[in-house]
Amino acid sequence: MEKKDNTVTSYRTCFGTDAGKRVLGDILINAGYFDTDLTTTEEQAVQNFAKTIIKKLGIHGPDVISSYVNKLFELPSKGI
| Cα distance between residue 59 and residue 41, in whole Å | 24
Give Cα 75 to chain centroid, integer Å: 15
- Binned at pLDDT 50, 70 and 90, residue 71 comes out as confident
Whether pTM exceeds 0.75: yes
Q: Looking at residue 3, what is its pLDDT?
A: 62
| Cα distance between residue 33 and residue 25, in whole Å | 10
**DSSP state, residue 42:** H
pLDDT at 58 over 80: yes
Q: Is residue 56 within a helix (H) or strand (E), and if so which, with residue range?
A: helix 41-56
Domain positions in the chain are 7-72
- Binned at pLDDT 50, 70 and 90, residue 69 comes out as confident
pLDDT digits (tens, 9 = 90+) for 5-57: 789 999 999 999 999 999 999 999 999 999 999 999 999 999 999 999 999 99
Q: Which one-letter amino acid corresponds to residue 79?
A: G
